[in-house]
Amino acid sequence: MGKKAASASEIEVGVQPRIGDNSIHPIEMGSGPPQRQPSDAEAGIFSGEVMPFRRWRPWLVPAFIVANVFLFAITMFVNNCPRNSISCVASFLGRFSFQPLKENPLLGPSSNTLEKMGALDVSKVVHGHQGWRLVTCAWLHAGVVHVLANMLSLLFIGIRLEQEFGFVRIGPLYIISGLGGSLLSALFIQSSISVGASGALFGLLGGMLSELITNWSIYANKVAALLTLVFIIVINLAVGVLPHVDNFAHIGGFISGFLLGFVLLIRPQFGWISQQNHRTSYDTGPTKRKHRLYQYILWIAAAIFLIVGFTVGMIMLFRGVNGNDHCSWCHYLSCVPTSRWSCNSSATYCSASQEGNQLNLTCEGGSDRSQSYSLPNATSDRIKELCSQLCS
- In 3D, which of 29, 26, 55 has the Cα closest to residue 277? 29
Are the C-beta atoms of 7 and 388 separated by less than 8 Å? yes
DSSP code string of 68-128: HHHHHHHHHHHH-HHHH-S--BSGGGGGGPBPPTTT-TTS---HHHHHHHT-B-HHHHHTS
Decide if 367 is catalytic: no
* Burial state string for 369-388 with b = 16 or more CB within 10 A and e = fewer than 16: eeeebebeebeeebbbbbbb
Decide if 198 is catalytic: yes
DSSP code string of 54-76: PPPPP-HHHHHHHHHHHHHHHHH
Question: Which of 141, 146, 244, 250 is flagged as catalytic?
Answer: 250
Residue 387 DSSP SS3:
helix
Question: Which of 85, 111, 198, 256 is flagged as catalytic?
Answer: 198
Would you name the residues annotated as active-site residues?
A: 198, 250
